[in-house]
Structure 1
């Protein structure tokens, strides 16, 4: 067994890291923190207020700084949330620069904020940053502002690594893993399932159109991230054959996914990874999705099909093929390619390499 490491894990300040998860980033952070802790490492998670206390959380101080009247009147003053988030990460990085050397072997930045990268040179221990999104101007600027950026980057897919190649050419691919014990094989059933944040870029309305064209019922699950989108584009589609099951915790969601004949995955943007694909496969549920982003890295003909982007009719035409695929093949793909143990091994090896 590896020597126990002391790891500072920096989460996003946007949403608490707790169930039911706001999105894939929070689910991934929770899973990584718990798995590393279960392996005997000491993980201190810096996360938004309200995060799961069982993870050993230190709350990020996400509050507005006390600004003078003159500062607040400045026409360049950003909005309140931007300022609160900036203040939280600035305080955290100053704390790590001051006291982190004695407390941690490695700092793992799992947030989307630029300051942990921009201020990495102030720390005396190695810094790992996971790239969860396409390139952003703030993060590219943080890297380019340093003659020799000391951060080691990991990308959640080969697609994401390629997108970041100009800025982080040495990024290693460490795919997000799912707990194949918790996401257990299900029996399948007579309906289709779609899960994720209910926002336009996830394309749940296209899944509803495809399911209806294919003549199969669809169950939707996830947090409503955009209430206007839900009201205007999804609510009118709901009925006996298309239902919204709510924002479910992992166990309820796993039962729903495992009871489906197939999972529809309909991103309207280039998905950097696609955690819902891995979750469905772990439940033995084959996937029918759009060929966007990293989905083609995860799926094989044994466990899924991909339609051209944004084409609900083409997706509907593939559904009869997908529901006939072998559920055992889907499960085996998850175990081999996107398991939690594989992800945790790769991050542990990376930490040990950098610390050594």
Structure 2
């Protein structure tokens, strides 16, 4: 018997900053979007709680979360909230909690919010909650976790680095790395240009990728949503030219084609990167990766062929490492080996089956979830 014949009903709570749709605002949104789609394909009933405009969002207004509303577009930020947003979120989460209590039919909450309120639901509502830790420790969530007591709650972390950071704050988590859909992130044939993809914000430092490519005499193409207009205007746009092009925010098929046609991908975080989904995406296309050693980057790339890690912020070292990878990674056999390793470690199906098992175990903690408990043994089907 397959799990699809014994489905569970899950409320999936997304981060509210951006809608879950393509082109994805960032790796977090891509991960949650893929989670919802994958669980539905497995036969589970996924009810999404997310920002208006999200794919898969149902008609219930109680489950629509308010995205930040900025007075001026230039003030928009990926790290701050406008005045009044936290109050709006508190009211929104109160409506969601009321819906959960009135509905009474959810087996488990799959929580990806960056706020503390959904963490508390396992205590205040008695519903099993699985919270994935996608970021460095956030004070609101740490406080909520400290008050759980014996409530039915599990925490997952996207890397050992992230788990250790949260453990230092008293929050222990199981490590399940992110995955990418290798049916859609397909093998590319490579090419001469270098590539950088991701959110265009200071902590991702694409300007350093441009400088590294220029130092190596290579052309580079950047792709991604501009999350900080001031940073882009000050530090990125002046560096663009014949050898450095900005392709915009691309949908996944176009981004896959761009990354797969590159000689090497540069990943340049200058903050404590929890995971770095662009690493797995690039490797899934067979494109080698040169990256700064920041946060969980070294862990994610450890043992993977076609990769190099250099000290964070060292543009010269990045240029040298990327040049070497680009020269060595031109062969078909080399790119195939890179992709095979990415499929083995970071395929969506492999990683989401692990998550599915955790969700089923969590659901079985509650008295009404005997059906979900029966399904735990079947999750590998």
Q: Same fold (TM over 0.5)?
A: yes
Q: Does 1:84 align with 2:88?
A: yes
Structure 2 partner of 1:216 = 218
Q: CA–CA distance in 1 between the matches of 2:7 and 2:147?
A: 34
Q: CA deviation at 1:80?
A: 2.0
Structure 2 partner of 1:226 = 228
- Among residues 63, 66, 77, which one is paired with 1:62 in the alignment? 66
Q: CA–CA distance in 2 between the matches of 1:281 and 1:139?
A: 32
Q: Which runs of 4+ in 1 moved over 6 A?
A: none
Bigger relative contact order, structure 1 or 2 (CA pairs below 8 A, ≥6 apart): 2
- Among residues 307, 311, 322, which one is paired with 1:308 in the alignment? 311
Q: CA deviation at 1:167?
A: 3.9
- Tell me if the contact between 1:193 and 1:260 (Cα under 8 Å) persists in the aligned partners: yes
- Among residues 92, 96, 102, which one is paired with 2:100 in the alignment? 96
Matches within 5 A, 1:26-65: 26-53=29-56, 56=58, 58=60, 59-62=63-66
- Tell me if the contact between 2:14 and 2:48 (Cα under 8 Å) persists in the aligned partners: yes
- Tell me if the contact between 2:180 and 2:281 (Cα under 8 Å) persists in the aligned partners: yes
- Among residues 186, 195, 198, which one is paired with 2:197 in the alignment? 195
- Tell me if the contact between 2:130 and 2:154 (Cα under 8 Å) persists in the aligned partners: yes
Structure 2 partner of 1:329 = 337
Task: Give ranges in structure 2 of 5+ residues lacking alignment.
Answer: 69-81, 365-372, 374-381
Across the aligned residues of Structure 1 and Structure 2, the Cα RMSD in angstroms comes to: 1.7
Q: CA deviation at 1:118?
A: 2.4
Q: CA–CA distance in 2 between the matches of 1:57 and 1:274?
A: 33
Structure 1 partner of 2:359 = 351
Of 115-124 and 217-226, more deviation after overlay is shown by 115-124
1:243-294 deviations in Å (ceiling 9; x for gaps): 0000100110000000000100000111101100000011111100001111
When residues 57 and 218 of structure 1 are mapped into structure 2, their CA distance, relative to the original with a 3 A threshold, is farther
Of 15-24 and 55-64, more deviation after overlay is shown by 55-64
Q: TM-score, normalised by structure 2?
A: 0.86
Q: CA deviation at 1:124?
A: 3.2
SS at match of 1:34: helix
- Tell me if the contact between 1:12 and 1:47 (Cα under 8 Å) persists in the aligned partners: yes
Q: CA deviation at 1:60?
A: 1.7
Task: Give ranges in structure 1 of 5+ residues lacking alignment.
Answer: 65-77
Q: CA–CA distance in 1 between the matches of 2:59 and 2:279?
A: 28
Q: CA–CA distance in 2 between the matches of 1:79 and 1:301?
A: 44
Structure 2 partner of 1:154 = 156
When residues 61 and 157 of structure 1 are mapped into structure 2, their CA distance, relative to the original with a 3 A threshold, is closer
